[in-house]
Amino acid sequence: GESVGLHLPTLSVQEGDNSIINCAYSNSASDYFIWYKQESGKGPQFIIDIRSNMDKRQGQRVTVLLNKTVKHLSLQIAATQPGDSAVYFCAESFSGGYNKLIFGAGTRLAVHP
């Protein structure tokens, strides 16, 4: 959903641990989901995407899981590194929606050595 708070939720992890960032989406008609990483002072950078005909997709060190029943999306990062520290956004879209992306509020990932 489009919740906005004073501070971004933060996930703190130790270097080398696995990270899981969760996202709830709002539109049951959404059929495309995407994760972006935004480092300080930069634009959002594509990480991985998934369409609604799949429930899992893997990339390099990242996995996205989609649970359409509860409208939940998660991003798993294996062996988290300091360079993974950033704000992570999930976004949803649907076919016929002119590729309009609806972004979630974002989660800050802080990786500690």
Least Å from the CB of residue 101 to other proteins: 6
DSSP-derived 3-state class of residue 82? helix
60 part of the interface to other proteins, by CB under 8 A: no
Classify burial at 11, counting beta carbons within 10 Å of its beta carbon; exposed 0-12, middle 13-18, buried 19 or more: middle
Specify the residue, 98 or 113, whose C-beta has the smaller distance to other proteins.
Answer: 98
CA dihedral 50, 53, 54, 57 (to 10 degrees): -30
Residue 113 in contact with other proteins, rule: CB under 8 A: no
Maximum distance among all alpha carbons in the chain?
45
Residue 69: strand, helix, or coil? coil
Of 23, 50, 84, 89, which one interacts with other proteins (CB under 8 A)?
89
Site membership for other proteins, residue 4 (CB under 8 A): yes
Interface residue list for other proteins (CB under 8 A): 2, 4-6, 8, 31-32, 34, 36, 38, 41-46, 49, 51, 87, 89, 93-95, 97-103, 105-106
